[in-house]
Amino acid sequence: MASIFLTCCSPRALARPRTRNPIPNRSSPDRHSRSPNRNRNSNLKPQKSKYKSAPQPLTLSGGEATTYNRLPLKEDVEAPSLSFAATEFKLSDSSVVETDEDDEVYRLSREKEVEVEEDGMDSQLRVDYGKFEVYEINSDVEEDDCDDHNDYSREEVSTKTVNKHSSNRFYETEEEEEFTNGQTVYLSDFEEGVVKEKGVPAVMRCFDRAKIYVKAGDGGNGVVAFRREKFVPLGGPSGGDGGRGGNVYVEVEGSMNSLLPFRNRVHYRAGRGSHGQGMMMNGAKGEDVVVKVAPGTVVREAGKEEVLLELLYPGQRALLLPGGRGGRGNAAFKCGSNKVPRIAENGEEGPEMWLELELKLVADVGIVGAPNAGKSTLLSVISAAQPTIANYPFTTLLPNLGVVSFDYDSTMVVADLPGLLEGAHRGFGLGQEFLRHTERCSALVHVVDGSSQQPEFEFDAVRLELELFSPELAEKPFVVAYNKMDLPEAYENWPSFKERLQSCGIEPFCMSAVMREGTHEVICKAYELLQKNKGPNQEFEGWPDPVNLNHVADTVQKQRRSPINDFEIFYDSGSNIWHVVGSGLQRFVQMTNWRYADSERRFQHVLEACGVNKSLTKMGVKEGDTVIVGEMEMVWHDSPESSGPSNMKKRYDPTKWPQLM
Ligand SMILES: Nc1nc2c(ncn2[C@@H]2O[C@H](COP(=O)(O)OP(=O)(O)OP(=O)(O)O)[C@@H](O)[C@H]2O)c(=O)[nH]1
Ligand SMILES: [Mg+2]
């Protein structure tokens, strides 16, 4: 385990919530303008002699804020398990923090010692580095995060951590602390997969993930009515059927490129069908609801792995949940033996479900690289996209898409992703949050900041992160674009970088994104790779079979059509209760309107006809036993002429009566 030293501010400062953005304010004079004019001094094509004679000052934007990402050796990361319990990582040769053996919580994967200065008191604070998530974000996102109601409460998490460290004054007042090097640390439980969720601001989390509730409309009820009209004696039953409930559709909206709208709306309910009316008037159909998602959205049922839908192309529409059938009115029950039926059905309940949406951007080429390498600048140069560009790491918090067009026929969609940090595959930084968006890319462009201290290591770091995140991702064809060639240090490093990569069989490209030099070659190469490795986007020929998209609705319909005599019986010997379970039977119970006298008779008849009574007798039901079918609870009575369940009562009455004192 490793240790790290942290300088603490005054306790007052600690107690106060502090911005997580260690980056200079936008209005701050420290911050460099993104205008290419600042590079006017530097020549477009650096000439060695010129830089030697009059080297450009290192204050040129683009070179100074580059973060150098040193990665641990791959074996060091891979060897230990990432599980929570008692795992040791050796990230450096620093001293290992002693942890309390009794407390499993403190036995974490990595620990770094933090030196704290507090009110003149210098002390060595032992901080469990594994509990921190390190990232930098910009302040407007932070605000967004704060007002998120669905957000996992960071305070909750911190409180837990505070309790664990209750003996430590530093943690009693502080949930976040800044490292001296400008990084902000949040306390959170270090549990694989959970850390990322808790630490990532809502706007970023909701960018490509959402959880929504959908419900198809219930069918309208049928009614009992009789025709009464002058000169029409015995007009007969005239109760109309209820209207069908509205359906739930999921449709791909081409203009959407995130799932952020689902932050504002979570519940999608289709309208219920109108009830039938007298004079044979059927109810109106309920209003459909269309859930619009971005191209590339994967739909799952909440908590399940199985993918229900994968919606890739604008205009695709899937019928997810069909609305409930309208109940029949008494006119529908008229028959030769019963010309005056006093019975009508309830509308069928519409199915409901919680869905998890996940967006994997449909891009042909993904631009990856360390923070501040110039990825967004490249995208802005090659496409009409206008991503935010600034001279500090993690300017890009959400992926940006741009369309590169070579001519009318050949275009490709390019995604600029947030920068990758050391440990990104374990949730550090932001990049990993969005790495899955490259899974659908056919090629990658690695932008390397040539002005960083060791561009080769920066490149290796990103490669390693990709590999650790997903080996398939690392196998995708890629172009290496060595950026910022207009800066002297980049120019000087280029030969060694090129040599190093060539020795590995990679032919790197050099460019200056700001000066728009060399970018065309890079993008042409990426296009060439794309053509060679056509992904799912290119394989698409024509619209997919619409029946496939409606398979969820088909399953629901199939379930609805299941025969009424398809049931199972379970016996609870402790309480003498017989449970009769079968979707056809349960649906029948739900649609029976018990207010009408004929309904109970019909129900008894159905139980007899579909063999429930016979099966119960065979299984040994006794006088007084309870029989439960759907929401109805009955008592079994043996009688010589006809035995069967009677004394029906609803198991749970949904009506909530006010409590009278
Ligand atoms: N001198 C020089 N500066 C560049 C060049 N390309 C980008 N920059 C500068 O580098 C800084 C970072 O550029 P971005 O495009 O925001 O970098 P990024 O990789 O998108 O950064 P993140 O979004 O934070 O990961 C900006 O100040 C750019 O103006 C270049 O070719 N030459
Ligand atoms: Mg960027």
Kindly state the average pLDDT of the residues 535-558. Answer: 65
Closest-CA residue, ligand 1 atom 9, reads 62
Kindly state the average pLDDT of the residues 331-356. Answer: 93
Q: Where are the domains of the chain?
A: 209-359, 365-534, 559-650
As a whole-number percent, the residues of the chain with pLDDT over 90 amount to 32
Band (58; pLDDT cuts 50, 70, 90):
very low
Residue with more model confidence, 573 or 84: 573
**Ligand 1 atom nearest to CA at 39:** 1
Query: Could you report the per-residue pLDDT of 487-501, keeping only the tens digit for each?
Result: 999 999 999 999 999
Dist. CA 80 → ligand 2 center (Å):
33
DSSP-assigned letter for residue 98? P
Q: Are 329 and 225 in contact (CB under 8 A)?
A: yes
ipTM of the complex: 0.99
**Ligand 1 atom nearest to CA at 34:** 29
Dist. CA 394 → ligand 2 center (Å):
7
Q: Are 368 and 302 in contact (CB under 8 A)?
A: no
Taking 70 as the threshold, does the pLDDT of residue 59 lie above it?
A: no
For the domain with range 365-534, which CATH number is right: 3.30.70.270, 3.30.70.260, 3.90.550.10, 3.40.50.300? 3.40.50.300
465: left (phi over 0), alpha (psi -120 to 50) or beta: alpha
Dist. CA 93 → ligand 2 center (Å):
33
Closest-CA residue, ligand 1 atom 3, reads 62
Kindly state the average pLDDT of the residues 161-183. Answer: 34
Dist. CA 591 → ligand 1 center (Å):
64
Residue with more model confidence, 415 or 87: 415
Cβ(373) – ligand 1 distance below 6 Å: yes
Closest-CA residue, ligand 1 atom 16, reads 389
Taking 60 as the threshold, does the pLDDT of residue 661 lie above it?
A: no
Closest listed residue to residue 476, CA positions, set 433, 447, 426, 439: 439
**Ligand 1 atom nearest to CA at 511:** 31
Kindly state the average pLDDT of the residues 449-459. Answer: 90
Kindly state the average pLDDT of the residues 371-393. Answer: 90
Whether the CA torsion 255, 259, 265, 266 is positive or negative: it is positive
CA distances from 270 to 34, 217, 311 (A): 48, 5, 21
55: left (phi over 0), alpha (psi -120 to 50) or beta: beta
CATH number of 559-650: 3.30.300.350
Residue with more model confidence, 661 or 323: 323
Q: What is the chain's mean pLDDT, rounded?
A: 71
Cβ(488) – ligand 1 distance below 6 Å: no
What pLDDT is stored for residue 550 in this prediction? Answer: 87
All residues at 6 or more sequence positions from 331 whose CB lies less than 8 Å from its CB, including other chains: 225, 236, 237, 238, 239, 240, 280
What pLDDT is stored for residue 539 in this prediction? Answer: 47
Cβ(56) – ligand 1 distance below 6 Å: no
Q: Are 256 and 213 in contact (CB under 8 A)?
A: no
The rounded distance, in Å, linking the Cα atoms of 486 and 38 is 12
Dist. CA 475 → ligand 1 center (Å):
26
Cβ(446) – ligand 1 distance below 6 Å: no
Taking 90 as the threshold, does the pLDDT of residue 398 lie above it?
A: no
- Residue with token string 């001296």: 180
Cβ(399) – ligand 1 distance below 6 Å: no
Residue with more model confidence, 197 or 400: 400
All residues at 6 or more sequence positions from 500 whose CB lies less than 8 Å from its CB, including other chains: 456
**Ligand 1 atom nearest to CA at 392:** 24
Q: Which of 67, 383, 389 to mutate to test the pocket of ligand 1 (most atoms within 8 A of CB)?
A: 389
How is residue 394 written in tokens? Answer: 């993690």
What pLDDT is stored for residue 644 in this prediction? Answer: 65
From the CA of 391, the nearest ligand is 1
Taking 60 as the threshold, does the pLDDT of residue 380 lie above it?
A: yes
Taking 70 as the threshold, does the pLDDT of residue 57 lie above it?
A: no
Closest listed residue to residue 46, CA positions, set 437, 338, 484, 522: 484
Taking 60 as the threshold, does the pLDDT of residue 599 lie above it?
A: yes
Dist. CA 367 → ligand 2 center (Å):
10
For the domain with range 209-359, which CATH number is right: 3.30.70.20, 2.70.210.12, 3.40.50.20, 1.10.10.10? 2.70.210.12
Kindly state the average pLDDT of the residues 436-444. Answer: 83
Q: Which of 514, 515, 520 to mutate to test the pocket of ligand 1 (most atoms within 8 A of CB)?
A: 514
**Ligand 1 atom nearest to CA at 380:** 15
Closest-CA residue, ligand 1 atom 24, reads 394
The model's pTM is: 0.61
The rounded distance, in Å, linking the Cα atoms of 186 and 189 is 10
The rounded distance, in Å, linking the Cα atoms of 540 and 465 is 30
Kindly state the average pLDDT of the residues 52-65. Answer: 33
Q: Are 252 and 214 in contact (CB under 8 A)?
A: no
Cβ(66) – ligand 1 distance below 6 Å: no
Residue with more model confidence, 63 or 425: 425
Residue with more model confidence, 275 or 370: 275
What pLDDT is stored for residue 472 in this prediction? Answer: 85
Dist. CA 562 → ligand 2 center (Å):
54
How is residue 311 written in tokens? Answer: 């919606």
For the ranges 141-145, 156-160, 454-458, the maximum mean pLDDT occurs at 454-458
Q: Which of 39, 56, 376, 447 to mutate to test the pocket of ligand 1 (most atoms within 8 A of CB)?
A: 376
Range list of H helices, 513-654: 519-532, 536-539, 546-549, 551-560, 583-591, 597-609, 612-619
Dist. CA 484 → ligand 1 center (Å):
8
